[in-house]
Amino acid sequence: MGRSPCCDEVGVKKGPWTPEEDEKLIEYIKKHGHGSWRHLPRNAGLNRCGKSCRLRWTNYLRPDIKRGKFSEEEEGLIIHLHSMLGNKWSLISTKLPGRTDNEIKNHWNTHLKKKLLLMGIDPVTHRRRADLELLANLPNLLSCCNSSTRMANSWDSTLQLQADAANLVQVQILQGLLQVLISSSPNSNASPNLNMNNLLAGSSLAPLRNIADILQANRQLEALLNGSFGLAHGSIPSASTIQMPNSYQALPLQNQPKMNGNENQQLLFHSNTPSLVSASPENTTSVSLKQEQIISNEISAANSESSTPIDPWDALNLSDPNGADLGWKEILEYVP
DNA sequence: AATCCTCGCAACCGCACAGAA
DNA sequence: TTTCTGTGCGGTTGCGAGGAT
């Protein structure tokens, strides 16, 4: 490497572009194409570096750029693609004709991120924010699982798709929590691969007797929630299909996004993959994969996965904090 | 009316990668 | 194989507009 940045050139203008500069750039590219960006400014009579010219052209002056507000469909598509691709704005922009990566990135940072946060969804992982404060508010969060709380309008249903997926993750976190709580007890005979049927059969948390147990459990829980808690963790059920309304629907690649939140669909839950989403920053390693390939893989995986419903969860009334089987109140007493 | 604060967006910066020499 | 060049990408910054005090 060792190349000096082109923008180090002395006397090169920086900052906002004037209409005259825009005009020069447009005229030149219309006549000659951009060719070498490095040589363009000199040839076009611009006192700018090539990089600045390229940026101005690609992000603002290009004739095919669509300006104005993002539609609900576009926003839904951005959220969906971001959940699969992460911050790969250039890849995402290829699915939104007329939108630049810069524009999408800005829109994400200023609008969509906040909206997701307001929904209690981590915009990085697209999961329900799984921190301890949230767990303390567990009953309210669990009530989100109730389909009666579904939101009606279309944009909200897009967010709800995320929320549904997040809720499912939350269910798995709960399961992990229960296992940690029980297995951390010195008196517990629970095996590491605790069977959910057994868990349901033993509804009392009586074995958890003292503060040390609780602290130990909390430490483990914190570790789990801080990211080491992979959904592929051995304590998590194998690949399962959970019936959920408004499920996370794979988008057809070549078509406009359809965010229909009114149908009952199946959400495929791949517990043997690292996470619900494939491209959270910590596991976005296959950047070099072609975008189509990535998205196609996601969709085909979702479509082809054979499924085995987890019966015990059907019996678990998660929406009821007083659910008698597990004694949620009892559990929550141990969660700070 | 003046000042402060927040927000949104355009532009910049540094790095990485691919291909050419 | 190494070095250089051109380009693209993602993160960050700076500034103007608008609202709040």
- Of all nucleotides, the one whose C1′ comes closest to residue A109's CA is B8
DSSP code of A259? Answer: -
pLDDT above 50: residue A307: no
More confident call, A313 vs A17: A17
Give the tens place of pLDDT for each residue, A76-107. Answer: 889 888 888 888 888 888 888 888 888 898 88
pLDDT score, position A161: 53
**Distance, CA of A236 to CA of A275 (rounded, Å):** 12
Mind listing the domains of chain A with CATH numbers? 12-61 (1.10.10.60), 74-332 (no CATH)
* Mean pLDDT of all residues in A281-295: 38
Residues facing strand B, Cβ within 7 A: A 1, 3, 5, 7, 13-17, 51-52, 55-56, 59-60, 102-103, 105-107, 110-111, 114, 288
Residue A231: pLDDT band (50, 70, 90) is very low
pLDDT score, position A95: 86
**Distance, CA of A299 to CA of A71 (rounded, Å):** 24
pLDDT above 60: residue A139: no
pLDDT above 70: residue A9: no
Give the tens place of pLDDT for each residue, A18-58. Answer: 888 888 888 888 888 888 888 888 888 888 888 888 888 88
**Distance, CA of A286 to CA of A205 (rounded, Å):** 43
**Distance, CA of A6 to CA of A158 (rounded, Å):** 43
**What's chain A's average pLDDT?**
55
Q: In strand B, which positions have an atom below 7 A from any protein CB? A: 7-18
**Distance, CA of A333 to CA of A136 (rounded, Å):** 9
State, as a whole number of angstroms, the distance between the CA of A8 and the C1' of B20.
23
Q: In strand C, which positions have an atom below 7 A from any protein CB? A: 3-12, 15
How many C-beta atoms lie closer than 10 Å to residue A256's C-beta? Answer: 10
- Of all nucleotides, the one whose C1′ comes closest to residue A110's CA is B8
Two tokens, residue A124: 């990085």
pLDDT score, position A146: 42
Residue A131: pLDDT band (50, 70, 90) is low
Two tokens, residue A278: 């494939």
More confident call, A217 vs A101: A101
